[in-house]
Chains A and B, each alone.
Chain A
Amino acid sequence: MISASPSSHSKSDTSVIGQLARSVVLCLLPLIPLAITTWLAMQFEKIVSGETLTFEIAWVPSLGIEASFFLDAFSLTFALLVSGIGTLVMLYATSYMTGDLRKWRLFGWLMLFLFAMLGLVTADNIIVLFVFWELTSISSYFLIGHKHEDATARASALQALLVTGTGGLAMLAGLILVAMATGTDQLTEILDQPELIRQSPFVTGMAALLLLGAFTKSAQFPFHFWLPDAMSAPTPVSAYLHSATMVKAGVYLVARLSPAFAGVPFWDFSVIIAGTVTALLGGFLAWQQTDLKRILAFSTISALGTLMLLLGLGTTYAVQAAVLFLVAHSFYKGTLFLVAGAVDHTCGTRDITRLGGLMRHVPGLGLAAILAGVSLAGVPPAAGFLAKEFVLKASLGSDWPELLTAVVFLISLFFVMVAGLVVIKPFFGSSESLPQMLHRPDARLVLPPLFLGIAGMAAGLLANVYGKPIVAGAMAAISPDVKIKSLALWQGWNLPLMLSLVALVSGGVLYAVRQPMISLFAPLTRFCVVFPTDVYRASLAGLNSMTRWQSHLLQDGRLRVYLLVVLITLCSLVAGTLNVVNLPTEASWLPLKPYEMMMPFLILCATLMAIRAKSRMAAICALGVIGYAIALIFVIFGAPDLAMTQLAIETLTVLLFVFVIYRMPRFATLSGRKSRVRDAIVAIIAGGLMSVIALVASMSHVPSRVSEFYANNSYTVAQGRNLVNVILVDFRGLDTMAEVTVLSIAALGIVALMRLQFRSVSDSTDSVKEEDAEVKDDMDNTKADTESVERLTHDSHIDNDSDISKRNP
C-alpha cells in the first residue's frame, strides 16, 4: 500500500535499501501515534476511576527542576485527541505529500509536534509545560513555512511564531509569578492551594500574563489574525495543528488553571469578553470567505472563542459544554480540513465558487463531509448537537441570560451557514464551473476523514453510555465543584432544543441570501481583518528599525568603536561593584630590586612608543616589547609556566600581526583630535580600573582552599608535580577541552572570513570597479612601503573610514 515517492530524484532513491527504509518510515509514521493511542486507551479504566498517573525524571537537578508529568482525565482527553487524530493525519499525510521532495522534513516536524503536544497536555512542572508549549510553536513555524520559497508562507510562519512566541514568554512570566506565590513549580501542587494565588497582590498581573499566552496561542481577538494566514501550511498540518490540537493549547491552559483563577474578576471578565468577541468575529468572517480552508480557519477561531466563553462562565453547564464542544469540534473540524485537503488534491482548487457536485465523483469524501457538517450545524445525533445543547443551556443559566443566549444563538447561526458553505456548496452545488478532475483520491486520503467523521457521530450516540466517566473526570479537573448532567441526546422538548431548531432553519435561510449580505457588511469586515494585521506589521517594522538603530550604534563595523563599547561597558559595570569593596588605603610594597624596577619602566616606554609610532611595524614591535616584559615579570616572580606561554603567545602574535599588515590599507591617522582625546580618556580609565582591581585582589586575603587542594592532591591523585599542567589536563580537563574546541572554531572562522573577503572582491561587478581599483592601489602601496611614514590626513577620510574598513576588513 505504501511505497516510496516516485517523483523524488535523489540518488539513494534507486537503491533497494533506500526504498525499504523509506517504506519502513512511512509505515511507522501512523503506527507510532497509533501505539500511543492504544496505550492511552488502556489507561482509560484506571484514569476514569479517579487515579492520576505520574511520571518524573530529574532534568536540571541543580535548579530543582524535575521533568514531571501527570495524566488525569482532562489530560487523557486531550492526549487521546492528539494521538488519535495524529494517527489519522499521519496516514493521510503519507498520501497527501506524495511527490513533495521535502515531505520527510514535514513528517519530522509533525512527529516532533505530536510529542511536544503530548508533553504539553501532560506536563506537571511549569517549566516543562513552557518548553513543550514553545516547541509546539516552533514546529508550527516550520510547518507553516513548509513551502519556504513562497514569501507569503514565510511571512505567515514568522507571524504565527512571533505572536504565539511572545505570548509564550508572557505565559512563562505569569507561571513564574504563580510559582513564587505558591512556592512550588508543580502544577498539581499549585492547583491544590488556590487561596495562595487569590491572596497574592500580583493576582491580576499573573492572570494578565497567563491569558496573554493562552489568547495568542488560541487565536483570540485581537490576536486572531495569525490563524487564517497559517493556512499556508499543507492541509494535514492545518487539520492537525491549526484546528484540532495546537490552537486548543490556550484553551487547555485556561481550563487547567481555572480551579486557581476562576472567580478572580479580571480573569473571568477577560476570558468571557475575549471569548465572546472572538466567537462572533470568527463566525462573521468565516461566513464571508470563499476559500475552503479560510472558511474553516475562521470558524475554528469562532469555536475557540466559544470554548473560552464557556470556561469564563464556569457553571456546571458551561464546563460540561466546554468539554463536549472541545471533543466534538476536534472531530468535525479535523474531518472537514482533511476533506478540504482531499478536494484540493483532487480538483486543484479550494474555491467554493468553483466547486460543485463533487458527491458523484468522490462519494467517500462526501459522506465524511456530511457527517462532519451535521455535527458542525448541531443536528442530532452528532456530538456537535449534544455540545450545542449544553452551550445553550449554559447561556440560559448564566448571569446575563438574554445577552449571552443571543450571542450563542448567533454563533450557532454562523455554524449552520459554515456547514452549508463547506458541505452543501462543494458536494451538492452546481458543477458548471468545476475544473477538470485531476485524479481520484486514494484510500489514504478518504479513509481518515471518513473514520474521523464516523467517530464524531459515534461520540454523540454513545456519549451517555461510555463518555460519562471521562467527561465527569475532565469536568472535575476544570472546576472541582460541578456535577455532571445526563449526556442523553434526547432531553425532552425544552428551550435549548427550540433555539437549536430555529437556528438551523434561519441559518439555512441566511446561507441562501449570503451574497447581498456580504456587501452590506464589507466595511466592518475590512476593519476586523485589516486593523489587527496592520498593528502587527507596524510593530514588527518598529522593532526592526529599533534593532537596526541599536546595532548601528553599538556595532558599526569599526574595530575601535567595538573596543570603546566593550571597555565603557566593562568600566561602568565594574566601577559599580567597586563601590561596595573597601579600597586598600595602603599598599605593602615588596622590596624591589633595581632590575625589577626596570620592568614597569620598560613597559611604560614601550606603551608610549606604540602610541606615537609612525608605522604599523614599529607599533607592533613596541607591543611585542610590552608582552616580553610581562613575561619577564612572570619569570622573576616564579611563574615559569606562565612566562613560557606568554613568550610563545607574544612571538606568535607579533608574527600574525606582521602577516596581517600586508592585507591592510595604508597606515594613516584617521582619527581627529577629539576622538583621540576620547579614546585616551577611556583607555586611561580602563587601565586605571584594572590596576585598582589588581590591588583590591592582592589586598583581600580570602583564605583559599582551592589552591591548597590542588597543591595537596596534584601528585597523589593526578601523579604530576607541575601544578599548572595538572590543573589543565586533569583537574579541569573539561575546561581545557572546551577552550581548545573554541580555539579551533575561531581558526575556522578566520579561514572563512579571509576567503569571504577575497571572494567578495573578485565578485564585484562593474559598478564598484572604480572602488576596486582604489583598493588595489592601496594594497600595492602598502606592500611597497610599509615602513615609510605615511599620513593621510584628508578630512574626507576621517568620515569615510568606515568605508575603508568595509573594503578591507
Chain B
Amino acid sequence: MRSNILTTATGFLLPLLLLFSVFLLLRGHNEPGGGFVGGLAAASAFSLHAITHGVRPTRAVLRVQPRLLMGIGLWVAILSGLPALLLDLPYLTGQWAGWKIPSIGKLGTPLFFDIGVYLAVLGMVMTIVFELVED
C-alpha cells in the first residue's frame, strides 16, 4: 500500500519532526520535554518514514545501525556521570558550566545525560521497528 500523498508529506515531515525532537530535548530542562520524549518523537518520525518508504531507505537516512545508536546513547549517559567522580562527588551529580550557549542554554552534564537517553531511546525503538518491518 503506497499513498503518494503520505510519501510526499513524509519527505517534508521527517526533517520537521526531527527538528521538533531536538527542540524537545533541549528545552527539556526548563519546559515540558526532555530526552525521553525527544527520542520517542524522533523514533516516530523515522517509523513514519519506514512505513511510507520501506526499511532500506530509512536505514540510509538514519545512516548508522540503530543498535549502535543504542550503545552510543548508553555510553554518553554513563560518561556524563564521570566528571562528578573527578570532583569527589557522588556519581552523576550534575555539573554546570558557568556560561550559556545562545539558543541552547546552559551547558551541563545533565544535558549530556539527556542526550544519551535521547539516543538510546531512538536506537531502541528503531531496532525493534526495523526488526519487525524487515523480512
Contacts and interface: CB of A to CB of B under 8 A. Distances in A.
A746 to B, nearest CB: 8
Contact of A640 (B32, B113, B127): B32
Contacts of A722: 28-34
Q: Is the interface of A mostly helix, strand, loop or mixed?
A: helix
B129 A737 contact: no
Interface in B82-135: 91-92, 94, 96, 106, 108, 110, 113-114, 116-117, 120-121, 123-125, 127-129, 131-133
B74 to A, nearest CB: 6
A651 B44 contact: yes
A720 B110 CA distance: 10
A718 B73 CA distance: 22
A544 interface: no
Given A641-B32, A733-B92, A656 B44 contact: no
Nearest to B36: A645
B37 interface: yes
B30 A720 contact: yes
A262 B131 CA distance: 66
Interface residues of A, number: 38
B33 A656 contact: no
A671 B131 CA distance: 30
Given A648-B37, A652-B47, A733 B113 contact: yes
Which of B41, B74, B94, B128 neighbours the largest number of chain A CB atoms within 10 Å of its CB? B128
Interface residues of B, number: 47
B22 interface: no
Contacts of B43: 652
A783 to B, nearest CB: 11
Contacts, number: 133
Interface stretch (A74-82, A199-207, A301-309, A724-732): A724-732
A645 B34 CA distance: 10
A659 B37 contact: no
A767 interface: no
Nearest to B40: A648
B110 A729 contact: yes
A722 B114 CA distance: 13
Interface in A702-741: 718-722, 724-726, 728-730, 733-734, 736-737, 740-741
A656 B41 CA distance: 14
Given A655-B129, A722-B34, A740 B74 contact: yes
Interface string B44-82: 100100010000000000000001001101100110010
B132 A726 contact: no
Contacts of A737: 77-78, 81, 92, 113
B30 A721 contact: yes
B77 A740 contact: yes
Contact of A744 (B28, B47, B81, B124): B124
Contacts of A656: 128-129, 132
A741 B34 contact: no
B99 to A, nearest CB: 13
B124 to A, nearest CB: 4
A754 interface: yes
A641 B40 CA distance: 13
A747 interface: yes
A289 B24 CA distance: 78
B114 to A, nearest CB: 5
A773 interface: no
A724 B35 CA distance: 12
A743 B29 contact: no
A722 B30 CA distance: 4
A648 B40 CA distance: 6
A748 interface: yes
Contact of A743 (B28, B33, B121): B121
Contacts of B74: 740-741, 744
A685 interface: no
A744 B120 contact: yes
A740 B32 contact: no
A718 B33 contact: no
Contact of A750 (B24, B44, B71, B128): B128
B32 A730 contact: no
A754 B130 CA distance: 11
Interface of A: 640-641, 644-645, 648-649, 651-652, 655-656, 659-660, 663, 718-722, 724-726, 728-730, 733-734, 736-737, 740-741, 743-744, 746-748, 750-751, 754
Given A641-B32, A651-B44, A652-B43, 12 more contacts: A645-B40, A655-B47, A719-B29, A720-B110, A722-B29, A726-B29, A729-B34, A740-B73, A743-B124, A747-B124, A747-B127, A750-B128
17 contacts: A648-B37, A648-B40, A649-B40, A652-B47, A655-B51, A656-B129, A659-B129, A719-B96, A720-B29, A720-B30, A721-B30, A730-B110, A737-B78, A747-B123, A747-B124, A747-B125, A754-B132
7 shortest A-B CB distances, which residue pairs?
Answer: A648-B40, A659-B132, A720-B29, A640-B32, A725-B34, A747-B124, A721-B30
